[in-house]
Structure 1
């Protein structure tokens, strides 16, 4: 266990490197996590690794006291009763609406049929976004290569995360709208935040760039 006495949920994938750098700043030795991509539980340092989308589930249930995940995950799952403690600043990307270059097929479908088909891994975020602007959209949930959907006629447009835009350009897609900026966030279990407040506050201050953070309840 780490010196804070906290079990920390760490996301695999694109956020892993930045998350481990943050733990290093708190004095937690992450060398084994960096060199072992098969092991998931590192009990000696109080770290458990998982998909970013699973972090809120483990934190809410108390299987982890705190965790790191993307803001996109928190936006897509607002029902999770956890505290969002800090914007960690890394993993920065944009959630966008994109479609094939040329005439906007989504706008054309909306004008012609009154509804457009949107492929996305984030059906709640996308549905809420279009509803707020008074546009009717049918969500098509896709968990793999979302960029393929407009190219095959599955959907008129997509809602997805964009870091550099290279993948979109290579598939002939262009950004039509920007929905939100997304970064990595530190979250905490509600009970742990009350009972282990000092340890969590010390940890949060060490891993954030400025040492400043403010809890938000619940994560949103």
Structure 2
């Protein structure tokens, strides 16, 4: 008997938006998946040929790239940051809309002109995207890698600016920061491990088609 296909989904906001898409494709997770107290990370679904794993957004790409999961749902920000050659991203799911932006304290922004920057120190969990963005403009970027609580960096003197995901902008506002530049718009994609796309095409291709229809 063939092992089930494993679909990696991210924890948090994207997952809530992804569940209706999963249902539209005919994938309904077992009850434990919705149990807030459950510590399980792998779940059966109504389809015995498909299991779900729930991991951090950044880890979805890693699990799929290395073949530990066959498919995944992940933001285009993560794909741009890691740029794994083993990943194929055939469908823009049209969910998880947000943007990657440069932000700084309001007081700094009032006297600042991004066009005049030659060197920036930035706290971010996107060092690759950040450096590439600034290098394209001839600006040298010194990146301080953080995995969360980015908004604290300017307040506590770690770095005067941050590069982070922004959706409503409320978190920035509540921490006295303002967007000064948008680097990229972000949506979530269906990703597939390239080897699995070839070796398990009879199972993977109909799933990809199903997601494409559901997203449309």
Question: TM-score, normalized by length of structure 1?
Answer: 0.85
Q: How far apart in 2 are the matches of 1:109 and 1:60?
A: 36
Q: Please, which runs of 5 or more residues in structure 1 have no aligned partner?
A: 213-220
Name the counterpart of 1:116: 120
After superposition, residues 138-149 of structure 1 pair within 5 angstroms as 138-149=142-153
Q: Is the 8 A contact 2:101 2:183 kept in 1?
A: yes
Name the counterpart of 1:218: none
After superposition, residues 1-220 of structure 1 pair within 5 angstroms as 5-32=4-31, 33-36=33-36, 37-43=38-44, 44=48, 45-104=50-109, 114-209=118-213
Q: How many residue pairs are counted as aligned between the two chains?
A: 210
* Cα gap change, 1:46 to 1:31, in 2 (>3 Å): closer
Deviations 1:177-207 (A, max 9, x none): 0010111111111111112224322212222
Q: How far apart in 1 are the matches of 2:214 and 2:18?
A: 16
Q: Is the 8 A contact 1:99 1:105 kept in 2?
A: no
Once the 2 structures are TM-superposed, how far is the Cα of residue 158 of structure 1 from its aligned partner? 0.6
**RMSD over equivalenced CA pairs, Å:** 2.7
SS of residue paired to 1:145: coil
